[in-house]
Amino acid sequence: MNISNKAMVAVDALVALHQNRQRQATSLVTLSSLLNVSVSYLEFIFKELRTAGLVSASRGPGGGYQLTAQANDFCLQSLCALFQNLDDLEVEEDKDAMSAELFVTNSLLQRVQVVRREFLARRTLETVFEESDRLREEFELKKVHERAMLRAKAHASIEVRRSGQTVKVHRPFELAI
């Protein structure tokens, strides 16, 4: 099973809905600008997500999409299957007509597919949401740390010696001689 671009965008959209869960609903226009994909592309994706029961929609002012309670328990393998094209279906090759090299390559690819399926079957959207929350918190802490370091540097005094003359730098771009 290949992971299609539609499935990846669907996961991104579901994570965005999860992160906006305190708000009423999220419109496709908002998601479109957030995810940098067209509204019509999202309409197709959300049609499938609604059919699967992962999101609910509300119309009118303040309308949009929200996650349903059952979204947490939905496994990633099933989500990928929602967006699998008929072109992505695996085709059995005639093993008798294969060269040894092609047979070995085909066998390795089939093993990779099994590992991918098992990984996706064990992961639910809840595990993705938990990981996104953890990564978001980590990112925000990193930004706070970076701002604190910049403030500390801005208030530091540094002495620089230049040809027998001492220049004291109190803040960046401010020199006192």
pLDDT given at position 87: 41
pLDDT single digits (tens) 16-44? 888 887 667 888 888 999 889 999 999 99
What are the tens digits of pLDDT across the range 41-95? 999 999 999 998 899 888 888 788 888 888 888 888 888 888 875 444 454 555 5
Cβ atoms < 10 Å from Cβ of 7 = 21
The two tokens of residue 100 are 């040894």
pLDDT in tens, 116-136: 777 777 888 888 888 888 888
Q: One-letter amino acid identity for 81? A: A
Backbone angles phi, psi at 19, to 5 degrees: -70, -25
Give the pLDDT score at 38: 92
Backbone angles phi, psi at 54, to 5 degrees: -85, -25
Round the CA-based radius of gyration of the chain to a whole number and report it: 26
Pick the CATH number of 5-150 from 1.10.760.10, 3.90.550.10, 1.10.10.10, 3.40.50.720: 1.10.10.10
Q: What are phi and psi of 50, to 5 degrees?
A: -65, -45
What residue type is assigned to position 168 of the chain? K
Secondary structure percentages of the chain, helix, strand, coil, to 5: 60, 15, 25
Structure pTM? 0.66
Domain ranges in the chain are: 5-150
